[in-house]
Amino acid sequence: MTSNHLPYFHTLPEKDYQKVVQHSRKRTYLPGDMIVRERTLTDTFCIIETGKVEITKKFSDGEEMTLALMEAGDFFGEMALLDQGPRSASVRALTETTILELSRESFEQLLLEEPTIAYGIMRELGKRLRETGALLIAHLERKNKELQEAYLGTVQALVNALEARDPYMKGHTERVTFLAKRIAQRLQIEKEDLFALEIGALLHDLGKIGIPDLVLQKPGPLEPEERYRIMEHPQLGEAILRNIRYLERSIPSILYHHERMDGKGYPGGLSGKSIPLFGRIIAVADSFDAMMSDRPYRHRMSLPQAVEQLRQGMDQQFDRQVVEAFLQALEEGEFDRILQGNPQT
């Protein structure tokens, strides 16, 4: 991954850059030093102050792929802003290199103190995900089914990182994906479309990357401004994935799953069949799982209560055909694993 564009942190005004530096710690590496080793734990997002690094990924068949060569002003380790799990690639210094390390806690502090700077970094993070995703996707296509599964695993790792931010969301994405796939099969969606829906379901809450933990984990009703922030997550998710050709067909699941049949949803206020089918399917799956899950401010509904809510919402909040497909699958026991707490997507 190479670029003729000026590295991001060289485009920041000096005063903004210094504010980032104030939240960082500095380390120096010699040529050949391993800065990050794949599959090891680290919680730092890294900015290259001086020097040059190589980022590589090793696949299960032993093949090693160079993802990027980076120089001063660039950054790596953006997944550290989401979780503290094993790293997905290795980073090695090619020259004497000075790194500014920013922990997730430090970034959250930057988000509170300098939100404009922090959101600018997050937008660049989205661009990086697109570039890296495009590179990996080309490799996955060449490796066919085996690497498609590896790609799904990477998406699932991102989902797990997102859900780790909110204990009440644990397992939510997996359950929504399970439900959505069964609904889609009832609607006789083509296999190729089913895969696009699966990816969209897995990533439907991706935009919550941009929602501060203080809002995401608030143990009570949200204030109007906080609710507005939450309502931004479909558009934030779409912005992160925009222009990744391989994911274009999954974006409707992300962008439109909070639209309503009566036009009173968000973000676009679409109505009826103008809402893409993927969005209408995810809306039912997402709402059912939310109703059947505990939240800090309310207890879960019983199964009959949740089913009644879906019935009452037909033609207003939900697509009647989608709800009927859901109810048919429910009556025939296809959701027993969900109800027993053991989804298999």
pLDDT one-digit tens code per residue, 232-249: 999 988 988 887 776 788
Q: What pLDDT, on a 0 to 100 scale, did the predictor assign at position 240?
A: 81
Question: Could you tell me the CA-to-CA distances from 90 to 24, 77, 133, 144 in Å, in that order?
Answer: 21, 10, 16, 24
Q: What pLDDT, on a 0 to 100 scale, did the predictor assign at position 118?
A: 82
Token digits of residue 50: 């001086």
Q: CATH 1.10.3210.10 spans which residues of the chain?
A: 146-339
Lowest mean pLDDT of 51-55, 167-171, 291-295, name the range. 167-171
126 vs 105, higher pLDDT: 105
CATH of domain 8-113: 2.60.120.10
Residues 31-58 have a mean pLDDT of 89
> Which sign, positive or negative, has the C-alpha torsion 266, 268, 269, 270?
negative
Question: Is 210's pLDDT higher than 60?
Answer: yes
80-110 burial by CB neighbour count: b if 16+ within 10 A, else e? Answer: bbbbebebbbbbbbbeebebbbbbbebbbeb
CB atoms within 10 A of CB 185: 14
Q: What pLDDT, on a 0 to 100 scale, did the predictor assign at position 314?
A: 97
Q: CATH 2.60.120.10 spans which residues of the chain?
A: 8-113
* Length, in residues, of the chain: 345
Thinking of the domain 146-339, which architecture would CATH place it in?
Orthogonal Bundle (1.10)
